[in-house]
Amino acid sequence: MSKTLIEGRAAALRIANLDTDQIMPKQFLRGIDKAGLAQGLLYDLRFDGQGQLRPDFVLNQAEAAETRILLGGANFGCGSSREHAVWGLQQFGIQAVIAPSFGEIFYSNAMNNRLLLVMLPEAEVAALMAAAEAGKAITIDVEAMRVRSAGIDVPFSLSARHRRMFIEGLDVIGLSLSYRTQIEAFAQRHWEAQPWVRDVGRVTKERWG
């Protein structure tokens, strides 16, 4: 699939102010790596108190299998800054979230990890939710910056940096490394002007034995 297109089944989460504690509850933050977070995604919404799937929750329904896009309410991802919420969404198979607005820290965490977040007016999100609930697929075209589904074709905006990251398949580290030549040239000029600061840690350690 093209890096500039995210397309497929979508699921509507008609919940405003869905916070990161709900997206990834605290009991799933105990590991030292990113593994196993799909199980924790929206755990208290997906499962009941006995750990059984709630059949009426949208992501537990048969037609929601292989959901790639979530449609959320306003202020999606508010709350604490846990990056695990982003990783859990991605491990579950979610490639994009469309909502009227997002929590600021969640937005940065998501975009830096290449989980695409698309902000659209509430009326357009509502129309996409209705399309998703009718079984219509949704396409997000990052290059053209448009969302399309069953008679819906609406524009969205991204910063130039984030658009480049998605088109070129870069996360924030990859984007930084794309400037490696410039970074190394800057460092060389800096060391030439101030040679006493180059490798100061190593030099000090050697001096002290």
User: What does the alpha-carbon distance between residue 146 and residue 157 come to, in Å, rounded to a whole number?
Assistant: 8
Q: Residue 131 is encoded by which pair of tokens?
A: 């399309």
In one-letter notation, the amino acid at residue 120 is L
- 10 Å CB burial of residue 131 (0-12, 13-18, 19+) is buried
Residue bearing tokens 């199980």: 39
User: What does the alpha-carbon distance between residue 87 and residue 97 come to, in Å, rounded to a whole number?
Assistant: 13
User: What does the alpha-carbon distance between residue 111 and residue 118 come to, in Å, rounded to a whole number?
Assistant: 10
- Interacting residues of 60 by C-beta distance below 8 A, sequence separation 6+: 46, 53, 54
Lowest mean pLDDT among 69-83, 87-101, 184-198: 184-198
pLDDT for res 2: 54
What is the DSSP secondary structure assignment for residue 36, as one 8-state letter?
T
Strand partners of residue 146: 141, 155
pTM of the model: 0.85
% pLDDT > 90, the chain:
69
* Mean pLDDT of the chain, nearest integer: 92
User: What does the alpha-carbon distance between residue 100 and residue 168 come to, in Å, rounded to a whole number?
Assistant: 26
Q: What is the mean pLDDT of residues 168-193?
A: 84
Q: Would you list the DSSP string of 100-152? A: S-B-HHHHHHHHHTT-EEEE--HHHHHHHHHHHHTT--EEEETTTTEEEETTE
pLDDT category at 134 given cuts 50, 70, 90 is very high
Q: What is the mean pLDDT of residues 140-166?
A: 95
User: What does the alpha-carbon distance between residue 139 and residue 1 come to, in Å, rounded to a whole number?
Assistant: 12
Q: Residue 19 is encoded by which pair of tokens?
A: 């916070």
Q: Strand (E) positions, the chain?
A: 5-8, 10-12, 69-71, 96-99, 116-119, 138-141, 146-149, 152-155
User: What does the alpha-carbon distance between residue 182 and residue 176 come to, in Å, rounded to a whole number?
Assistant: 10
